[in-house]
Structure 1
Amino acid sequence: MNPYEAERRTLLTPVLLLLLAERRGHGYELVRRLADMGWRDAESAHVYRVLRGLETCGAVTSHWDASDHGPARRVYALTHQGAMELALWFVRLGELHGILHVFLERYVQLTDATGCGDDRPSAPPTDPASAAHMRRMRK
């Protein structure tokens, strides 16, 4: 696993807490809601591992919901402790947001100063997605 994937996996905890604060849900529904947020590569096995960990530490509870239309599903809900943890994540991610904003601004300035596609070692590599993001940042 590369460092980028590890960072995204770490962020799965607060995102799942947020989704459960919005409304309870079963695992596959949470995976779908993650995809709706743009998190299309969330592995269901990892989502279930994180949910089990959150349940073990008391941030979420679960119960089996028997349905007439299919197999029973484990439905997860946020606890009071989970709501407090979500609030702490909000503060931590807010601080990180400020740092990331400065980073992104400085990266855009660097690419403006060095020129996109420059062959110098100091010039950051760019791809179409990065270039599009930088154009949005400049606006």
Structure 2
Amino acid sequence: MTPPPAKGTPVDRRASWLKGVLDLLVLASLTSGESYGYEIAKTLAGAGLGQIKGGTLYPVLNRLEEAGLVAAEFRATEKGPGRRYYTLTEQGRQTLGEQGGLWLAFDASVRSILAEGGVT
């Protein structure tokens, strides 16, 4: 277990920020077509979000599937284990548009306040 940071030490909050927006990022990663978990994780890592482990990603995918925002299909492969491929549903596209717009407005507000505070 990692000890808490010393008093006055800045806390790295990126993990909690990512947790708050991961559903939206997964939906956005599926806009160009179907994909499977490992490939989604690679896409997000390639965007600078760091390694997202399966224990974090797959519950998100399951939750999105249960909500009807993505559809999943298991496919056997000739070599190795089969994969579940995920596709964005129409409801998922609509949710991405709505929630994405809200996130961008939130982001603009945060940027504005940080800029006023001298953060560039």
Give TM-score scaled by structure 2 length: 0.83
Question: Which structure: greater helix fraction?
Answer: 1
1:24 matches 2:8: no
Gaps of 5+ in 1: 109-133
CA–CA separation in structure 1 for the residues paired with 2:91 and 2:97: 10
- Of 96, 102, 105, the residue aligned with 1:95 is 105
CA–CA separation in structure 2 for the residues paired with 1:90 and 1:98: 12
Higher relative contact order, structure no. (Cα contacts within 8 Å, ≥ 6 residues apart): 2
State the shift of 1:26 in Å.
0.7
* One-letter identity of the residue aligned with 1:81: Q
Which of structure 1's runs of 4+ aligned residues deviate more than 2 A?
2-7
The residue aligned with 1:77 is 87
* Local SS of the residue matching 2:51: coil
* Local SS of the residue matching 1:67: coil
Identify if the C-alpha distance between structure 1 residues 25 and 10 changes in structure 2 by more than 3 Å, giving closer, same or farther.
Answer: same
* Local SS of the residue matching 1:28: helix
What CA RMSD, in Å, does the superposition of the two structures yield over aligned residues?
Answer: 1.7
Give TM-score scaled by structure 1 length: 0.72
State the shift of 1:68 in Å.
1.2
Aligned pair count reads 109
* Local SS of the residue matching 1:70: coil
Structure with larger Rg:
1
The residue aligned with 1:48 is 58
Bigger mean CA deviation after superposition, 39-48 or 25-34: 39-48
